[in-house]
């Protein structure tokens, strides 16, 4: 499923409410939109050592709607098959058992929504098992939240599960823990409850993780960073070299965000190009009325990279156009970083989104300048307007191994700051 971005142009720093999103991935058909409601039933009511939670009913800022980016219950397949869009990989494969769907066995109950959940075992030897969901793209994401239910009984303190994300703009695409500062995600509820022991062969030794016995299905809600515009999620179960558990089950996954629902807005123009006014201001003097300036180009672009701080030298840059781009006029050289033209340009998403790539990163420590000259390529409505923007590169420094013994305190979610809109938009 590919949803064309709206014919709406935004600068995220100016109007963070606006969001455009779509998927591109194999097997996207698996992601079934389930409408505006994101409530997950709180069933499987066994006594649990974890605090009872009521899945939050998120509130979107005025002018935006809650939409579901992806959702899966794992119930449309016959175990052990995974739904399309999901992949299972064992980076360390001790037993040939991969993440799969399951409708029976331990840990019990086997599913939150019957009949199936995704499941992995907890073997008595070192293992590293991944459950990945295909790439999704979120543009102008506001208040993106991942909710899922899971039931784990993993050798306490030695075997554990973590949630990781891969994005172009995080550690050069390497899967990174959702709570890592480079990612910036945080748990609203149901966060990690243990630190995995070191020295016993765990691939995630020393990291915060889910471990021990959840006592049935619990809810985890993750606040996703707004800077992640493309992502692959990974549920990772790591076991050490002795002792075992029952395993880990995942069910009822939803990823939601707030999406601007207003009318298309005028293009903010950072350059000095004057906007033609329909009615020149009357003048009382004898001086001539100003000649109306020509209508500026109807095609403008922006990039999620504008204004952000990156911790590795970027080679890939998404640029979003307000109008469909004419591919015949597009080439890598149209996009320039610090005076270096890109090597390639690819048009995706119905022609609104361009991915410029460099064979060698042009990034320098400190402030970096991005530039697209006026008319570098054409859109359906006319030549592209000049684009300039900057971002900052701060080389990453190694993160010390965590030594704290307490679980991290979830960060409070940011307070929505709705931007002013010119006119209210009637809801359907």
Give the footprint of Ca ion on this chain (CB under 5 A).
Answer: 73-75, 111, 113, 116, 155, 158-159, 239-240, 243, 251, 329, 331, 334, 376-377
Q: Which is nearer to Ca ion, 155 or 368 (CB)?
A: 155
Provide, rounded to whole angstroms, the least separation between the CB of residue 149 and Ca ion. 9
Q: Which is nearer to Ca ion, 63 or 161 (CB)?
A: 161
Alpha carbon of 10 to those of 55, 76, 285, 316, 322: distances in Å? 31, 38, 39, 20, 8
Q: Which is nearer to Ca ion, 86 or 169 (CB)?
A: 86
Q: Which is nearer to Ca ion, 136 or 377 (CB)?
A: 377
Provide, rounded to whole angstroms, the least separation between the CB of residue 50 and Ca ion. 20
Give the distance from CA 399 to its chain's centroid.
22
Closest to 371 (Cα-Cα) out of 356, 353, 351, 349? 356
From the CA atom positions of the chain, what is the Rg in Å? 24
Provide, rounded to whole angstroms, the least separation between the CB of residue 401 and Ca ion. 20
Provide, rounded to whole angstroms, the least separation between the CB of residue 8 and Ca ion. 24
Distance CA 168, CA 260 (A): 24
Residue nearest to Ca ion (CB): 113
Q: Please say whether the beta carbons of 95 and 228 come within 8 A.
A: no
Provide, rounded to whole angstroms, the least separation between the CB of residue 123 and Ca ion. 8
**Residues 6 or more apart whose Cβ sits within 8 Å of residue 66:** 36, 38, 58, 60, 256, 257, 258, 259
Provide, rounded to whole angstroms, the least separation between the CB of residue 291 and Ca ion. 31
Alpha carbon of 295 to those of 136, 273, 299: distances in Å? 36, 10, 11
Q: Is 91 left (phi over 0), alpha (psi -120 to 50) or beta?
A: alpha
Q: Which is nearer to Ca ion, 375 or 418 (CB)?
A: 375
Q: Which is nearer to Ca ion, 111 or 141 (CB)?
A: 111
């Amino acid at each position: 499923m590919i949803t064309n971005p709206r014919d709406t142009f935004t600068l995220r720093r100016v109007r963070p409410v606006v969001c455009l999103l779509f998927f591109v991935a194999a097997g996207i058909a698996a992601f079934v939109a389930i409408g505006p409601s994101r409530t997950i039933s709180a069933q499987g009511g066994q006594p649990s050592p974890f605090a009872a939670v009521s899945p939050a009913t998120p509130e979107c800022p005025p002018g935006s709607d809650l939409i579901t980016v992806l959702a899966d219950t794992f119930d449309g397949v016959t175990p052990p098959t995974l739904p399309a869009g999901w992949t299972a990989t064992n980076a360390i494969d001790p037993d040939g058992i991969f993440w799969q769907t399951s409708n029976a066995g331990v840990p019990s109950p086997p599913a939150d929504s019957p009949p199936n959940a995704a499941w992995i075992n907890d073997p008595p030897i070192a293992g590293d098992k991944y459950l990945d969901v295909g790439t999704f793209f979120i543009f102008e994401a506001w208040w993106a939240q991942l909710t899922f239910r899971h039931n784990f009984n993993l050798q306490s303190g030695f075997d554990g599960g973590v949630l990781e994300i891969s994005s172009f703009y995080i550690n050069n695409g390497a899967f990174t823990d959702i709570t890592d500062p480079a990612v910036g995600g945080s748990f609203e509820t149901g966060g990690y409850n243990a630190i995995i022991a070191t020295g016993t062969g765990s691939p995630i030794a020393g990291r915060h993780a889910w471990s021990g016995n959840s006592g049935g299905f619990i809810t985890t809600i993750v606040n996703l960073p707004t800077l992640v515009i493309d992502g692959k999620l990974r549920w990772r179960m790591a076991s050490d070299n002795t002792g075992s558990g029952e395993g880990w089950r995942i069910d009822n996954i939803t990823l939601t965000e707030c999406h601007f629902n207003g009318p298309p807005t005028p293009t903010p123009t950072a350059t000095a190009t004057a906007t033609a006014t329909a009615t020149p201001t009357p003048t009382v003097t004898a001086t001539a009325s100003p000649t109306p300036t020509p209508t500026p180009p109807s095609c403008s672009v922006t990039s999620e990279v504008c204004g952000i701080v990156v911790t590795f030298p970027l080679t890939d840059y998404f640029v979003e156009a307000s109008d469909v781009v004419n591919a015949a006029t597009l080439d890598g050289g149209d996009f320039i970083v610090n005076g270096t033209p890109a090597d390639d340009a690819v048009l995706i998403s119905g022609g609104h989104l361009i991915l410029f790539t460099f064979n060698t990163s042009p990034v320098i420590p400190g402030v970096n300048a991005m530039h697209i000259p006026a008319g570098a390529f054409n859109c359906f409505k006319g030549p592209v307007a000049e684009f300039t923007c900057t971002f900052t590169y701060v080389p990453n420094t190694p993160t010390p191994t965590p030594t704290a013994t307490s679980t991290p305190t979830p960060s409070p979610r940011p307070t929505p700051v709705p931007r002013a809109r010119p006119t209210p938009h009637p809801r359907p």
